[in-house]
Structure 1
Amino acid sequence: MSSNSIQLTAEQLSNAESLLTSKEAEIIKLRNQLIQGESQFQSAADEHQDVLTKLEKLSELFESESKKNSELVMKMTVMENTMLKREMELVKLKAKLYERISSLQSGNTFHFPTLDAGANAVKHISRLLVFEGKTIAFSRWINGVTEIFDNYQMLKDFQKTALVVESLKGPARDWYDAEPDSNVADWRNFKEALNRQYGSLESTDQALERIDTLKLTMKSDFNSFIQQIRPSIKLIAGDNNTLAIAMLRKQVDPEIRKYVPKVANESFEEHEKRLKAHMNDSQAKFTS
């Protein structure tokens, strides 16, 4: 029985050993690179998780601050309404006092001319409560003005107009200065113009209730949602963009909200446009 043997030269054997050593070195190098890559990936994953945790905490902190801010605004509104109510009560007391003085002097047979009576009434009224153009305060203010004028019926039309003009401050006075003369020529037209500009069919409580009932989800019609919620938010927040945006975002589903992050110094209108653009894109992808 014979066997075949392969004869290798020393050079071939040396080359084979060198090749084997080289491949083993490459394998070790690749293994080390793999270990290093896994370590870097784990480090990046840990860092990413840390960022997510911090972001979640910041989001919770912002929501908490927004809630506190909203509560503070509501408290300020209640305080403002209370102050207006007390001031109106003071005006009523002044009116009653004037009536008593008039009744005590009713035995005097001398009668002042109508114009003098109006001027005397103006002196007793002194001045009306200030109105700065805040829609939330308009109803109380205009009701108070109307009640005072009802109590002092001897006032001439031009005297009523003059008293009201004097009480307008800030944005309200700017509005008056820009209003056509025909709209403020007499008290009746003046009052109608004021009601058109500042009269609100919705109270603060009603606005808050409306906001709370509206939610924006992926199934919502954005235009319908924003048209319903925008007037109520504007009534509460006024020109405070930060508060207005916070109130809007509170009614937006978190799955939508996270893709429309807040931007520093952004106006309510700009945030609304970004939210609308995201909704349009998302709903288009969902239906395609």
Structure 2
Amino acid sequence: MTTTATFIGLGVMGYPMAGHLANAGISVRVWNRSQGKAEQWAKDYPGKACASIAEAVKGADFVMTCVGADKDLVEVYEDDSGIIANAPEGAILIDHTTASASIAERLASAAATRNQPFIDAPVSGGQQGAENGQLTIMCGGPEAAYEKARPVMDHYARALNLMGPAGSGQKTKMVNQIAIAGLVQGLSEALHFAEQAELDVSKVVDVISKGAAQSWQMENRSGTMIAGEFEHGFAVDWMRKDLGICLDEARKVKASLPVTALVDQFYADVQEMGGQRWDTSSLIQRLRKFR
């Protein structure tokens, strides 16, 4: 029998992720808050655009979501016209939104009342990773449900792992964002120093990227940082949302994140410069402004 999957939320990530499922031969139904986006998706891929969440999840084996934040998850999952009330018992619910661990735990508990296993599965890899089907997925939830869902998520994943019970995926994504924040600030300061020291910055990167300083950020972002190009990638607004989640969770678990808190404020400076939608590597612009 054909697997049926519903995808809720067709932003820059969800749109291609749902497309990978459809191209793999899975029967896909989609819903988006703006109906026109769902209708356009159905023109681009083999699948059906639905007018309501209730219609989209009816009879689904899997329901994926990729929306904005905790409040959006409450709406699409817990409303009477939402996922939990209208998806069939036994449907596996998978959330790819970057959100709080507490909302993942709350939704897992609510879904359990209807025998719907819930997996929090935030992703890393950005728009490019979604388009290329090369996302890293960090999952929290029951192992049996994860094993059933894994072959489906594999269609847009490079790597995925079960990290523990509900909420563990979100906490792992927080670790990812904490690490990135420090790396981008360090790279920004390094490139800024090279500029101020009147070195050939591209040559500097070519040399140090062969040693211990090498990172994904250096390999993929140093060139555009040097050129001052930031109209791509993961937006500063999104990063500030994610770092806010990290700092909230850190207070709960009594973790000290002084560098993360500082970089969060640096991103606030970038927002004030008009860089809300710039790529996160735009931290270097703040240094250039205040030199």
Same fold (TM over 0.5): no
Counting strand residues as a fraction of each chain, which structure ranks higher? 2
TM-score by length of 1: 0.22
Which is higher, the Rg of structure 1 or of structure 2?
A: 1
Counting helix residues as a fraction of each chain, which structure ranks higher? 1
TM-score by length of 2: 0.22
